[in-house]
Chains A and B, each alone.
Chain A
Amino acid sequence: RKEVEQDPGPFNVPEGATVAFNCTYSNSASQSFFWYRQDCRKEPKLLMSVYSSGNEDGRFTAQLNRASQYISLLIRDSKLSDSATYLCVVIFYTGRRALTFGSGTRLQVQP
């Protein structure tokens, strides 16, 4: 089983739709969680950190469920510019900082 798993998609949604992705992780010692966005053939860029209490940044909401070991990303009112691959990142620390990337979920927002 992979340490971090994501549905690869693609998720094809119309503009204005609400879409949600989940990311499951296997290491219960995981300490920090992030969502990165990666455009085609570009480098990943931090979208948002995921806090235990959940957090929101404009149209984006991230949540953490430690009991079930998953994080989620909700995008409201999807824009064409939201089309990208969303990478889940999980960090656990066991003597050294181990940052594990999911393989990403591809989102395609259609007009």
Chain B
Amino acid sequence: DGGITQSPKYLFRKEGQNVTLSCEQNLNHDAMYWYRQDPGQGLRLIYYSQIVNDFQKGDIAEGYSVSREKKESFPLTVTSAQKNPTAFYLCASSHGTGVDNEQYFGPGTRLTVT
């Protein structure tokens, strides 16, 4: 079955540690995205990638880093510089980046940092 997988579903870390969230897709989509969602709020774009080996900052990139070495994979690292890392992180992909391209979301990772 085609889709997007994110792992793990729940992740707990101590403050000061970097943590990497996994996102894999087998939809053959060119574009991939990372969002975070906080309670009662909409999704905010962290980073996006339109093609392999290229990525761009979104609206809230500070404290995060990404890589896009393979078309299928777009891991997100939450660094210790991110001041409020506890959130629901969603990865998405789309066939292209045209305005009508539907984004498909993975199931998300809930990160809790204490």
Q: Interface residues, chain A, CB within 8 Å of chain B?
A: 4, 8, 31-32, 34, 41-46, 49, 87, 91, 93, 96-104
Contacts and interface: CB of A to CB of B under 8 A. Distances in A.
Given A32-B99, A46-B102, A97-B98, A8 B108 contact: no
A32 B101 CA distance: 10
A49 B74 CA distance: 26
Interface in B32-63: 35, 40-45, 56
28 contacts: A4-B42, A8-B40, A31-B99, A32-B99, A32-B100, A41-B88, A41-B110, A42-B107, A42-B108, A43-B90, A43-B105, A43-B106, A43-B107, A44-B105, A45-B105, A46-B102, A46-B104, A87-B42, A87-B43, A93-B99, A97-B99, A98-B45, A101-B35, A101-B42, A101-B43, A101-B44, A103-B41, A104-B42
Helix, strand, loop or mixed for chain B's interface?
A: loop
With most chain A CB atoms within 10 A of its CB, the pick from B56, B88, B99, B102 is B99
Contacts of A41: 88, 110
Contacts of A100: 42
A26 to B, nearest CB: 14
Contacts of B106: 43
B26 to A, nearest CB: 17
